[in-house]
Amino acid sequence: MQPIRSMFGEVQFELVKIILLNVFLSTVIFFLIADLIALVFGMKLWYIVVASAVYFAVALTSELRKISVRVVEERNPEMRELLRTAKDNQDQDTLMAHALFAEVLDKMRRVSSGTFLDFRKLMLKISAVFVLAIVLVSLAFFDINLQRFEDPLRAPLSALGRALGFGTAGSGEDAGAAGDAGDIFGEARVADLGDDALIATVKPGLDNPDFSQIDPSDPSANPLDDLGGADAGFNDGGPGSAGSGLDERDLQRSFEYAKQTQGSG
């Protein structure tokens, strides 16, 4: 009874194609709606991809389990009871069985794949895909930000990843939060400027030096001497530095400049 078995195989194949089309459209709608929800909650794209893949697998498995001869008979009333009877007796080799198979094969030749489609549901799904696609494209084109809430899956997934050993506390985008109680910049630190301490001393006498009391014959009485040496207010200039650090010629030039300034004032 090879012809009747081949006929049932073809019918099943047609039903599988129709189911794939319906499930695919449903998955596209699910993906677009999930994308809108993800924009509101600031979720990552891979959440949507994984959820859509799971939805497709579950929906396809559920629909494939519904494939039966009864579905074909519901879409084709003229085949009512004939297909189930032929399927139950496909292994029979009697005159009545051959007559039944011939009738079934003749009527099935006039059955098209379109009879298995629900055009109303198909058009509704296509319209929904079109509208959702237009909405998402418009949001991207006008750069509209829909995020109103924080990602609710971020904390559970981070905890699950740490429990399974995927990732460390100092790696990834959560490093700042893990390092310093929610501070994205991590632990606060003080800059290390070096080992030597810087000591500075301000002498009130240097605020207003009196150049009128300078004796040119005694350079050591020059108030500019207070700017050098170990008591200058900063760390010692090192070996070879003595007094103010200026030679006699520089001191004389400083004196002349100060004298001219006092005279012009």
Task: Locate all alpha helices (DSSP H) within 142-243, ordered by sequence.
Answer: 154-164, 175-179
Is the separation of the CB atoms in 52 and 35 below 8 Å?
Answer: no
Residue 151 maps to a domain:
no
Helices 45-64, 2-41: inter-axial angle, 10-degree rounding: 150
Cα separations in angstroms, 35 against 146, 147, 154, 194: 11, 12, 16, 53
Residue 239 maps to a domain:
yes
Domain identity same for 137 and 208: no
Residue 172 maps to a domain:
no
Domain identity same for 28 and 135: yes
Question: Where a domain ends, among 123, 141, 159?
Answer: 141
- Is the dihedral angle over the CA atoms 252, 257, 263, 265 positive or is it negative? negative
Domain identity same for 213 and 137: no
Question: What is the mean predicted confidence (pLDDT) over 62-81?
Answer: 85
Domain identity same for 24 and 95: yes
Domain identity same for 30 and 125: yes
Render pLDDT for 148-197 as a digit per residue (tens, 0 to 9). 777 666 777 677 777 777 754 444 444 444 444 445 555 555 555 555 66
Render pLDDT for 12-65 as a digit per residue (tens, 0 to 9). 888 899 999 999 999 999 999 999 988 888 888 888 999 999 999 999 999 999
Q: Which of 67, 55, 51 is nearest to 25 (CA)?
A: 55
Question: What is the mean predicted confidence (pLDDT) over 80-105?
Answer: 82
DSSP class of residue 221 equals G
Cα separations in angstroms, 212 against 209, 229, 248: 9, 23, 19
Is the separation of the CB atoms in 205 and 233 below 8 Å?
Answer: no
DSSP class of residue 188 equals -
Read off the tokens for 90: 């496909």
- Is the dihedral angle over the CA atoms 88, 91, 95, 98 positive or is it negative? positive
Count of domains observed in the chain: 2
Question: Where a domain ends, among 141, 165, 181?
Answer: 141
Task: Tell me what the pLDDT averaged over the chain comes to.
Answer: 74
pTM beyond 0.75, yes or no: no
Residue 157 maps to a domain:
no
What pLDDT was estimated at residue 172? 46
Domain identity same for 84 and 213: no
Residue 179 maps to a domain:
no
Residue 38 maps to a domain:
yes
Question: Where a domain ends, among 118, 141, 164?
Answer: 141
Containing domain of residue 99, as a range? 2-141
What pLDDT was estimated at residue 248? 75
Domain identity same for 222 and 91: no
Residue 119 maps to a domain:
yes
